[in-house]
Structure 1
């Protein structure tokens, strides 16, 4: 919204949208701290795995159906890609739980377009959104 207001020559409204978005981010982070007490890494991995599975399996499925019912192909594609990425997140958490005791080190590559995470291999292009490899961020 801020970008649109800026393009329309309304810098103060753009600033307001940016400020409120930042404020909402703070609210979200504070709420997460309240909802999640610190637990062991193993428990945190398990909770994260279960959350990613639920989001990929239920939430995004509902979002996709709603977007398709509205005829919004762009939203349906976005939600479909996001679901695919969440499934990868769930797999990575599951693998991390299995390798927790091994302390296996890896390099991750994250697509800056859709959020896809690749474990150890920089793909030529993103398997979810087809972004080129130079659009990935490396986490070594």
Structure 2
């Protein structure tokens, strides 16, 4: 059985998604606590969000090594490879995912959410374009690495 057909692969993908979502939820909860004037609670949520990020990144490390990008299925690795996966992921979001989500939301009578999904499709198209531009420039040698002496001060 290949790794991508294994239950472990599915578990890693689910764990990565869960930890990533926990990070975003706790980040939002920290903002709520700050608005409520509860810095201790906000700090607890922020630190927990950071921990969840660490967990998610470790899951992604295993996924990248064994199966590629959990969103696109494309390989992950160096920046050229990662940009290709990012372009594919963002393109899927603006061409298929968000338009379909908007259609369903509108069909179900959720016009405000449909409009939100349509806005996100436009944003994801912009993101795809930026990633594609960087990919094109990197392939053409148009993105230079900073001098090592300069880089250590960045």
With over 3 angstroms needed to count, the CA separation of the structure-2 counterparts of 1:71 and 1:22, relative to structure 1, is: same
Q: Name 1:27's counterpart in structure 2.
A: 55
Name the one with the larger strand percent. Answer: 1
Query: Paired residue for 1:86, among 111, 124, 139?
Result: 124
Q: Name 2:20's counterpart in structure 1.
A: none
With over 3 angstroms needed to count, the CA separation of the structure-2 counterparts of 1:72 and 1:13, relative to structure 1, is: farther
Q: Name 1:102's counterpart in structure 2.
A: 140
With over 3 angstroms needed to count, the CA separation of the structure-2 counterparts of 1:21 and 1:67, relative to structure 1, is: farther
Whole-angstrom distance in 2 between the partners of 1:42 and 1:105: 11
With over 3 angstroms needed to count, the CA separation of the structure-2 counterparts of 1:97 and 1:79, relative to structure 1, is: same
With over 3 angstroms needed to count, the CA separation of the structure-2 counterparts of 1:42 and 1:16, relative to structure 1, is: closer
The structure number with the bigger radius of gyration is 2
Q: Which deviations, in whole Å up to 9, do the C-alpha atoms of 1:34-69 show, x marking residues without a partner? A: 222354554333222211112223333354456554
- Give TM-score scaled by structure 2 length: 0.48
User: CA contact under 8 A between 2:80 and 2:139: conserved in structure 1?
Assistant: no
Whole-angstrom distance in 2 between the partners of 1:24 and 1:72: 33
Q: Which deviations, in whole Å up to 9, do the C-alpha atoms of 1:12-38 show, x marking residues without a partner? A: 332332222222222222222222235
In structure 1, runs of 5+ residues without a counterpart are 107-140
User: CA contact under 8 A between 2:87 and 2:132: conserved in structure 1?
Assistant: yes
In structure 2, runs of 5+ residues without a counterpart are 1-28, 66-75, 145-154
Name the one with the larger helix percent. Answer: 2
Q: Which deviations, in whole Å up to 9, do the C-alpha atoms of 1:63-82 show, x marking residues without a partner? A: 44565546372x54544333
**Aligned CA-pair RMSD:** 3.2
- Aligned length, in residue pairs: 105
Q: Secondary structure at the match of 2:33?
A: helix
